[in-house]
Homo-oligomer: A and B are copies of this chain.
Amino acid sequence: MDNETRTLFFAFFNEIGIIAQLSRTALEARLPKGLTLPHFSVVNHLIRVRNGQTPLALARAFQVPKTTMTHTLNGLVAHGFVEIRPNPEDGRSKTVWLTEAGRQFRDAAIQSIDPDIDVFREQYPEDKVRELVPALAEIRAILDADRD
């Protein structure tokens, strides 16, 4: 492979990795102590996508092993942000439901993150972000499909 090409792709994924790390750290700095990005992400997902999903569906949505999702859900249950109920359609399975405290946690988190987004928006135009998203989504879809 052309070395310039290799360098290009390394640079691309390297920038992606650094942005992911910086944005994750910035978000977690706003969350109550002991709560992490996965905690927020799951609660946010239950609101945005669908409440009452199974743990396995959540694990797939976030592309983490199901053992990791078990651990994350345990933390959310300990904080009273979700309830785990049996799955009436499958005795092996469970369902995950937001509590009122979970909704409040999510709303408060978003409120506390908004200022950071504003700061970023002042330095980088929203429209350029809007242009980037479809390309990133396409790349994400390709990598996701190649995963097998």
C-alpha spacing A136/B146, complex, angstroms: 23
Given known A8-B126, A110-B6, A117-B1, contact A24–B19 (CB-CB < 8 A): no
Number of copies: 2
Interface centre among A5, A11, A17, A114 (most CB of B within 10 A): A17
Interface of A is mostly: helix
Pick from A76-84, A91-99, A137-145 the stretch touching chain B. Answer: A137-145
C-alpha spacing A64/B37, complex, angstroms: 17
Report chain B residues within 8 Å CB of A5: 117, 121, 126
Given known A11-B133, A135-B132, contact A143–B6 (CB-CB < 8 A): no
